[in-house]
Amino acid sequence: MSEINAGIHGMGHAYPEGVLTNADLEKIVETSDEWITSRTGIKQRHKAKENEYTSMFGTAAAKMALERAGLEPTDIDLIVCATTTPDQIMPSTGALIQAQIGATNAAGMDIFAACSGFIYGLTMVESMIRTGQIRYALVIGAEVLTKYVDYTDRTTCVIFGDGAGAAVVGPVEAPKGILATKIRSDGRYEEQLYAPGGGTKLGTTHETIDNRMHFFKMKGNELFKVAVRSMADISAEMLEKAGYTVDDVKVVIPHQANQRITDAVASRLGVPEEKVYSNIAEHGNTSSASIPIALDECIQSGRIKEGDLVLLTAFGGGVTWGASVIRF
């Protein structure tokens, strides 16, 4: 009997129709297209309307992934939604998506690992599928980050965008599937990227609102160094575990945080530029949604074909990081 791995059966992605360009931001905050582009590589980002929310985009991406996988919602055993911007505190966005797609046989839950969330979700369901605990899972990264950015802070408001990506993960025969995957975190770097207001520590008060503590705050220069080192090191470790080198990889899909970070990770790994996928110019940083959106774009465009080896790597607030090596 063939060895069973967990692999991706279908993907989908969605994002708001609304677009916020660098020219639009020039009218809101002291910045310029040149300043944003040279520091981040971003030209535009998608922005949700006031009446649009995270589960809407997660649901749209999930339905697309199910259709491409040729499965019904009732075939899904587990829905893992990675998000830092849930619809509400309770119930989970995963449970809300479960209801919206009609996945009546599934458990629904959220994981909170910021930009690494999709890889966290893949890592979680991989072992459950491989050991037979579940058969099919939906792993979703969904965010409406523009509702949490401070449009008086030009260092953060230019970066983030909204969107969602989803993958149907289920059993495949080796040598296909997820060959190596690992996640890490280090809470000592908490204040490099965080939003301190609104929790049980500080709550929601006039003071936290007046001090704009419910918006994302970031120490970009410090975050850059930790991100590059962490993503490159865990990527090299997972390639070695899977028995491959960067020469064997067809496409590298890093979390779309910042073009400078992407370039530095590729350089540290020794990956040529043409192997590294980037869509940050069009979407900005969509946190947990960035990797599944990029992965789906690569599959749909034919850049990733059957038999190709793909490396995913991410880093996010927490701090968190992870990498997965997948044979399609």
Q: At what angle do helices 33-40 and 259-269 cross, to 10 degrees?
A: 20
How far is the C-alpha of 100 from the C-alpha of 61, rounded, in Å? 12
Query: Model confidence over 100-113: pLDDT tens digits?
Result: 999 999 999 999 99
122 has pLDDT over 60: yes
Is 166:317 a contact under the CB 8 Å cutoff?
no
pLDDT at 123: 98
Query: Model confidence over 9-49: pLDDT tens digits?
Result: 999 999 999 999 999 999 999 999 999 999 999 999 999 99
How far is the C-alpha of 114 from the C-alpha of 71, rounded, in Å? 29
Query: Model confidence over 227-276: pLDDT tens digits?
Result: 999 999 999 999 999 999 999 999 999 999 999 999 999 999 999 999 99
pLDDT at 219: 78
pLDDT at 221: 75
pLDDT at 278: 97
CA–CA distance from 278 to each of 8, 73, 259, 269 (Å)? 21, 31, 8, 16
pLDDT at 266: 96
Burial class of 138 by CB neighbour count within 10 A (0 to 12, 13 to 18, 19+): buried
> What are the catalytic residues?
115, 255, 285
CA–CA distance from 155 to each of 16, 45, 275, 284 (Å)? 23, 15, 29, 13
pLDDT at 105: 98
pLDDT at 154: 86
How far is the C-alpha of 192 from the C-alpha of 71, rounded, in Å? 41
Query: Model confidence over 42-77: pLDDT tens digits?
Result: 999 999 999 999 999 999 999 999 999 999 999 999
326 has pLDDT over 90: yes
In the chain the domains, ranked by start, together with CATH numbers, are 4-174 (3.40.47.10), 179-186+220-327 (3.40.47.10)
How far is the C-alpha of 171 from the C-alpha of 186, rounded, in Å? 32
Hey, what are 252's tokens? Answer: 């590298």
pLDDT at 190: 84
pLDDT at 65: 98
List 46's β-bridge partners, or say none.
19
**Alpha-carbon dihedral sign for residues 128, 132, 134, 139:** positive
218 has pLDDT over 90: no
R_g of the chain, CA atoms, integer Å: 19
Residue 159: closest CA among 68, 55, 290 = 290
Q: Which residue has the higher pLDDT, 1 or 33?
A: 33
